[in-house]
Amino acid sequence: MAEFEKLFALANAPYQRNDKRKFIAVFPMWFPYEILLAGGCRVAEWWGYDVPPTLADAHFPTYICTLVKSNFELLLSGRSEVDGAAFPIATCDSIQNSAGLFSHLFPGKFAAYFRMVQNPDSASAADYLRAEVKRLIAEVGAFIGRKIADAELRAAIKTANAFRQAARELLLTLKSGRTSLPAAQIYRALRGALTDVGPSTTKLLGDLTASLKVGPASGPRVMLVGMTAEPLDVLTAIEAAGAHIAGDDLGLGWRTMSVDAAESGDPAEALAQRLLHLPQCSSLHSQKQARGPYVVSRAKEVGANAVIFTRLKFCDPEAFDYPEIKCALDDAKIPNLLLERDLRDQAEGAVTTRVEAFLEQIG
Amino acid sequence: MSIKIKTTDKLKEMMMVYYLTAKNARHNNGKIAWITSGGPVELALAFGVTPIYPENHGAMVGATKMGGQLCAVAEGLGYSPDLCSYFRIDVGQAETHLGPIAGLPEPDVLICANNICKTVIKWYEIQARRYNVPLIMIDHPFMEHEIEEPAVKYVAAQLRDMAATLETVTGVKLDQDKLYQILMLSRDAIKLWERALETLRSKPTPMSSIDSFFHMAPIVTLRGEQRTVDYYQALVTELEERKAQGIAAVEGERHRLLFDNIPMWYATKFLYQTLAKHGAAVVTSTYTASWSMERDMTEGDPFEAMAWNYLAPYINRGFAKRLDILEGLIHKFECDGFLMHSARSCKAYSLGQYDLAEALTKRTGKQGVILEGDIADERAWSEGQAANRLEAYLEALDG
C-alpha cells in the first residue's frame, strides 16, 4: 500500500483515535483550528459521512442536512472517541444550534464555538473578531489546563499554512490535466487529511501529489460548486462521461484551503485578519461582492467551460446563492447543472444519466 | 363560544392604516425601509422612514393561505422549496405583486438584524441586489449563554454606523431628542405588551396565545409610535376587565399549554378549535415573549441599551438558555403541557426541539407534543396528521 493510502484509511474511519492527543471534531467551516493545534489537540474537520442516521434521527427533524446529522451519528453511536467538538456557528442555523445541543448530549465533553463576524464590512468587525479569537484561545487554554503561548500559536499557524499549501498543490494538479488518480480519490484523500490536520497528513498530501502523473485532459472541463462534492460517485460519473474535473469552489476543496494566515506578528491578529480576507463563500457575508461574479471568475481561473453544483439537500447557504450564481453563469455562457443530493444518496444511476446528458449537450 | 376580544377590531384597522400609509409613502416623498422583525426600528423611525416588515407580510400571506402560491413563484426562479417560506413569499410578492395587499411597496433601504436567524442575511442581500438599494447589516453574535460585553460593543458600533448610513439615505440628521422620544414610546409599548401577556397567567386565561400571535403585530411593526402605546393600553384594559369578569378565552379551560416556535399561520383556527374541544388553552409562547425589554433604552447610552436588548431574544440564545426560558414559562403560566411546532422553514427555531422537549419534561414533569409543519407554506402541512397527533396528546392530558 502506498503511504498516501493512509489518507483513504483516515477518510473511512474519521472517528478513530490514534494517539494520546485530545481529539476534537470540528464542524465546517472557517473554525480557526490553529488554536486547537496550538493546544496540542488533534483537529478532525468532519464533513459528514455515509452512515445511516439511526440515532441522530431521534434528535434532528427530517429537514436537517445529512452533514450535520451524520456527524452527530458518529458522536452518538459511540464509535467516535472524541474529547470534544468545535462549532463555527456562523456557518448556518443548523451548525449554530448544534453547539448547544452537543453540550446537552455530551455534558462531559469540551464544546468550543466560534462566532465569525457576519458584517465584515463594518469598521467594528475587526475589533470584535480579535476579541472572539482571544476568547477562544483562553477557552482552549482552560480545556488543556494551561495558557497557550504566542509561540505555540505561531507554530500552529505555520502547520496549518503548510497543510493548506499541500492541499492547494494537490488540487492544482486537477487544473493541470488528467491525473493518474481519479478526482474522486483526490477529494477523498483531502477529506481523510482533514481528519488529522498536521505535519503527518501534510506529508501524505505532498507524497500523493508527487506520485500523481498528469496527462493531457480532453472533453469538457468541469468546475464543482457547493459545500462538498460528496457522494463522490458524481465525480466518477463526470470522468466516465469523458469530461475533466478542472477545479472547484467547494468548502471541502479549494475554498477553505485558499487563504493562509501571517506567520509573524501577533498571532491573534493574524488569525483575525485571515478570517477577514477569506474568499467568497455562501456562509460568509459581504456587501462588496456578490458570489455569482466570483464563481464565474473562479471558473475562468481553472479554465472550466461547465459548472456542476453539488448541493447537499437542506443546505440553506448554498441554496440561497444558487439562482444568482446560475444567472451569472448563464450570462457568461457557462453551461451548468444542479445536483441536489444527500450523503446517503443511493441514486447513482439517475445522477449518472443526468451528468451524461448534460455533458453530451455541451459536447 | 368564547367572547371575542373587542380590541381585535382596532388591530385590523390599525394594520390596514399602517399598510395603506406605507403604500403611499413614496407619493408623500417618504423613504421606505424594509426591516427584519428583530431590527432596531427605533433608530430607523428617528430618521422618519416608514418601516416595512416582510416577515409580518409573510405571516399575513400565510394566514390567508396564499403562501403556497407565492412560494411557488420563488421556486420557479430556482429557490429551493426547503428555504424559509417567508423569504420565498417575499421573492414571490416582489415578482408578481400578488398577495392580500397586492405586494409590498419597494424599499429605499434594507435593514437586517441576524438576531433571529441567518436566513435573513441571505434574504436581504438578495433583495438589496434586486432593488439596488443600500443594505444596513447589523450582525448580532449568537449568545450561547449570557450576553457578552464585546458583543454589546460590536452591535452598538454597528448601530452608530447605521445612523450614519440613514443620514445619507434620508438626508436627515439624527435628532437625539427625537430618538429619545421614540425609545420612550417603544419602552412603553413593550411594557404594555408584557402586561397584556401577564394577564394570561389568570385562570381561566382571558386571551389565548393564539390570539396574541395576531395582537403582537403592532409590537413587531409599530413599536416606537404613540398609536401602538394607545393600542396596547386598550388591550391591557380589556384583558384586565375580562380577567375581573372571569371571561375565558377557552370555555371550560382545563389544560394550559405553552407554544414554542412561530405558528403555522394558515392553521391557527384549526389549532384553536382542536385545543378548545378539549378545554385546552395556549397561555404562553416563546414567540410572543420575544419582544421584551430587559434594559431600559431611555437610560444611559441608547445604542448600548438597544444592542443589549436586540442580542437578547430567545432565538438568539443557545440550547441551555432556551431550556431555562421554557422552564420559566411553564412554571410562571402554570402550564400542564407544551406544544412545539417543528417548522421546516425555521431551522434556527426548530433544531434542538426534540431534546428541548425531552429535557423540559424531565425538569417539569409536563408532557409535550411536536407537530411538523411550516410557518407560511401551507403545502408543507398535513392537517389530518396534525389532528391525529394533537388529539392523541389531548386525550392523554384529559386522562
pLDDT in tens, A62-89: 999 999 999 999 999 988 789 999 999 9
The predicted-structure confidence for B217-234, as pLDDT tens digits, reads as follows 999 889 999 999 999 999
State the first-to-last Cα distance of chain A, in angstroms, to the nearest integer. Answer: 38
Burial class (CB in 10 A: 0-12, 13-18, 19+), B191: middle
Q: Among B255, B126, B393, which Cα is nearest to A320's?
A: B126
- CB–CB contacts below 8 A, A to B: 149
Is it the case that residue A1 has pLDDT exceeding 60? Answer: no
Task: Please check whether residue B46 is in contact with residue B179, taking contact to mean a CB–CB distance below 8 angstroms.
Answer: yes
Same domain, B117 and B253: no
Is it the case that residue B1 has pLDDT exceeding 60? Answer: no
Residue B15 in 3-state DSSP? helix
Q: Hey, which bits of B63-185 come out as E strands?
A: 109-113, 135-138
User: Chain B interface, mutation test: which of A102, A118, A291, most B Cβ atoms within 10 Å?
Assistant: A118
Same domain, B113 and B250: no
User: What is the assigned CATH class of domain A16-152?
Assistant: alpha beta
User: How far is B228 from B221, CA to CA, in rounded Å?
Assistant: 9
User: How far is B273 from B379, CA to CA, in rounded Å?
Assistant: 21
- Is B358 at the interface with chain A, CB within 8 A? no
Phi, psi angle pair for A45, to nearest 5° = -80, 120
- Is A254 at the interface with chain B, CB within 8 A? no
Q: Which of A112-126, B188-202, B261-275, B291-305 has the lowest mean pLDDT?
A: B291-305
Any domain includes B1: no
Domain count, chain B: 2
Cell output for A13: 474511519
Contact partners, residue A298, CB within 8 Å, separation at least 6 = A223, A247, A249, A254
Answer with the residue of higher pLDDT: B296 or A353.
A353
Residue B174 in 3-state DSSP? coil
For residue B255, list its beta bridge partners: B280
Domain C-terminal end among B177, B208, B237: B177
* β A336-341/A244-250 pair status: unpaired
In chain B, residues 176-195 whose CB comes closer than 8 Å to chain A? none
Same domain, B172 and B217: no
A120-143 mean pLDDT: 95
Any domain includes B173: yes
Chain mean pLDDT for chain A: 94
User: How far is B266 from B66, CA to CA, in rounded Å?
Assistant: 9
* CB count in 10 Å sphere of residue B161: 18
User: How far is B331 from B336, CA to CA, in rounded Å?
Assistant: 9
Give the pLDDT score at A346. Answer: 76
User: How far is A56 from A69, CA to CA, in rounded Å?
Assistant: 6
User: For residue A192, what are the CA distances in angstroms to A16, A200, B353?
Assistant: 12, 12, 33
- Is B79 at the interface with chain A, CB within 8 A? yes
Give the pLDDT score at B355. Answer: 98
- Is A330 at the interface with chain B, CB within 8 A? no
The predicted-structure confidence for A308-326, as pLDDT tens digits, reads as follows 999 999 999 999 999 999 9
Q: Hey, which bits of chain B come out as E strands?
A: 32-35, 50-52, 109-113, 135-138, 255-260, 280-285, 337-343, 367-373
**B42-70 exposure pattern, b = at least 16 Cβ within 10 A, e = fewer:** bbbbbbebbbbbbbbbbbbbbbeebbbbb
What are the respective helix, strand and coil percentages of chain B, to the nearest 5? 55, 10, 30
Residue of B nearest to A115 (CA): B141
Burial class (CB in 10 A: 0-12, 13-18, 19+), B16: exposed
Q: What is the CATH number of the domain that holds B77?
A: 3.40.50.11890
Give the pLDDT score at B171. Answer: 94
- Is A144 at the interface with chain B, CB within 8 A? no
Same domain, B166 and B198: no
Is it the case that residue A3 has pLDDT exceeding 80? Answer: no
CB contacts of B129 in chain A (<8 Å) are: 290, 324
Q: How far is CA A127 from the centre of its chain?
A: 26
Is it the case that residue B149 has pLDDT exceeding 80? Answer: yes
User: How far is B262 from B276, CA to CA, in rounded Å?
Assistant: 20
B256-283 mean pLDDT: 97
Residue B339 in 3-state DSSP? strand
Same domain, B232 and B106: no
Concatenate the DSSP letters of all residues of A122-167 into one string. Answer: STTHHHHHHHHHHHHHHHHHHHHTSPPPHHHHHHHHHHHHHHHHHH
Q: Among B14, B16, B35, which Cα is nearest to B107's?
A: B35
The predicted-structure confidence for A167-196, as pLDDT tens digits, reads as follows 999 999 999 999 999 999 999 999 999 999
Same domain, B196 and B158: no
Task: Give percent of chain B with pLDDT exceeding 70.
Answer: 100
Cell output for A91: 456557518
CB contacts of A97 in chain B (<8 Å) are: 318-319, 347-348, 351-352
B360-367 mean pLDDT: 98
- Is A289 at the interface with chain B, CB within 8 A? no
* CB count in 10 Å sphere of residue A293: 15
Cell output for A121: 464590512
Is it the case that residue B292 has pLDDT exceeding 80? Answer: no
Is it the case that residue B207 has pLDDT exceeding 70? Answer: yes
User: Chain B interface, mutation test: which of A63, A313, A315, A326, most B Cβ atoms within 10 Å?
Assistant: A63
- DSSP assigned state of A254: I
**Residue A16: left if φ>0, alpha if ψ -120 to 50, beta else—which one?**
beta
Domain C-terminal end among B133, B154, B177: B177
- Residue owning grid cell 432596531: B40
Same domain, B172 and B292: no
User: Chain B interface, mutation test: which of A104, A133, A315, most B Cβ atoms within 10 Å?
Assistant: A104
State the first-to-last Cα distance of chain B, in angstroms, to the nearest integer. Answer: 24
Any domain includes B2: no
Q: What is the CATH number of the domain that holds B232?
A: 3.40.50.11900
Residue B134 in 3-state DSSP? coil
In chain B, residues 308-337 whose CB comes closer than 8 Å to chain A? 318-323
**B369 pLDDT band (50/70/90 cuts)?**
very high
Give the pLDDT score at B221. Answer: 87
Same domain, B202 and B350: yes
Give the pLDDT score at A339. Answer: 96
Contact partners, residue B177, CB within 8 Å, separation at least 6 = none
Give the pLDDT score at A273. Answer: 96
Same domain, B194 and B124: no
Same domain, B159 and B222: no
Q: Domain range spanning residue B45?
A: 7-177
Any domain includes B141: yes
Q: Do A123 and B157 touch (CB under 8 A)?
A: yes
User: How far is A185 from A27, CA to CA, in rounded Å?
Assistant: 22
In chain A, residues 41-70 whose CB comes closer than 8 Å to chain B? 58-64
Same domain, B152 and B212: no
Phi, psi angle pair for B251, to nearest 5° = -60, 135
Q: Do A316 and B83 touch (CB under 8 A)?
A: yes
User: How far is A285 from A81, CA to CA, in rounded Å?
Assistant: 34
Domain C-terminal end among B158, B177, B196: B177
Is it the case that residue A91 has pLDDT exceeding 60? Answer: yes
Give the pLDDT score at A347. Answer: 75
Same domain, B62 and B137: yes
User: How far is B194 from B289, CA to CA, in rounded Å?
Assistant: 8
Burial class (CB in 10 A: 0-12, 13-18, 19+), B320: middle
